[in-house]
Amino acid sequence: MPELPEVETTRRGIEPYLLGQRVIRVLLRERRLRWPVPEDLDVRLSGQCIQAVKRRAKYLLIEAEVGTLICHLGMSGSLFLLPSGSPAAKHAHVDIELSSGQSLRYTDPRRFGALLWTLDPAQHPLLLKLGPEPLSDEFTGEHLYRLSRTRQTAIKPFIMDNLVVVGVGNIYASEALFAAKIDPRRAAGSISRARLLRLAEVIKQILQQAIACGGSSLRDFVGADGKPGYFQQELFVYGRGGLPCKVCGSLLRETRLAQRSSVWCAYCQR
C-alpha cells in the first residue's frame, strides 16, 4: 500500500497541473471502489476551478471552489496526467478532464482505493480523528512520550497508530526504529523520553528522505509521472529478514507485530 511519502510524491507531481484549472467534465467508468464513487461527481465537480491540492495522512485532498475530492490510493491506485481523450486501459476508472486539455486519470486494479466528495474535509469521518502530521511542528518526541506512558503496546504498532501520528506505515516505522536503535517489540511505555525524542527526529528525517527519493516502489507504486520511486534502495531492515545487517553484519530477525511483518537487528536495536 502506498505510504505517506508515495502519496506526497503524487501530490507534488499533480499539483502544478491542477492548480487554477477548470474541470470540464468527469468521466466515471467504474464506481465500485472501496466505497462507491458518487454518481453525481460529474455534476458536483464540473465547471469548478481547482484551488488547492493538499494531503492529510495518506489522503489526497483536491479542493475546488465548493467542495473537496478526497482520494485514497488504496493498495494499487495511481493518479496520472495525460491528454484528454487518451484511450482508457482496463483499470482506468475515472478521468477528470481539465481546461488545459489534460486529464487526471485514476487507475486502481484492485479497486481498494476511494474517490469521495465532501463539503468539509476536516469533519469527514475518515479525517476527523486523525493524529498530527509527522512532518508538522505538532509531532514531537514530547508528544510520543505523553501518549506512550502506561502503554504496553509494542512501539512499532504504537507509532503506526493514526491516532498517535498519521502516515508512519510499515516500511518507514521499521526504518525509523532501526535508525533510532529501538527494538520494535519493546513496550511503548517503557521507552525513555530521550529515546522518544530521537525517534521523532528520525521519523521526520526518513520520511523527508523518502519523499526526496520519490517514495518506495514496492509492488504497484509509481509516481504521478509514471516513474518508480527508489527509496527501497536505502532500506536497512524492511523486507530483509535473514540477511546481514548493513551496520553490524549480524543476521536480521523477523517476527509479526499487530499482523505486520517486522524485521530488526537484535544487536543494533535494544
Burial (CB < 10 A; 0-12, 13-18, 19+), residue 203, is buried
**11, 55, 56, 58: which one is catalytic?**
58
Return the closest-CA partner of residue 104 out of 83, 81, 76, 72.
81
Residue 92: strand, helix, or coil: strand
What the block records as the C-alpha cell of 172 is 518507514
162, 167, 70, 73: which is closest to 120 by C-alpha?
A: 70
- Cα separation, 160 vs 168, in Å, equals 5
Other beta carbons less than 10 A from residue 125's beta carbon: 8
Residue 15 to residues 10, 19, 33, 231: CA-CA distances in angstroms? 8, 6, 23, 22
Our answer to whether residue 246 is catalytic in this structure is: no
157 included as an active-site residue: no
Active site residue 34: no
Catalytic residue list contains 260: yes
Q: Is 110 annotated as a binding residue?
A: yes
Q: Are 171 and 263 in contact (CB under 8 A)?
A: no
What the block records as the C-alpha cell of 148 is 506512550
Phi-psi region of 244 (alpha: psi -120 to 50; beta: other; left: phi over 0): beta
91 is in an annotated binding site: yes
Task: State the catalytic residue, choosing from 34, 44, 181, 260.
Answer: 260
Nearest to 148 by CA among 128, 133, 138, 163: 163
Q: Which of 2, 5, 38, 157 is catalytic?
A: 2
Binding residues: 91, 110, 151
Residues carrying an active site annotation? 2-3, 58, 260
Binding residues for DNA: 91, 110, 151
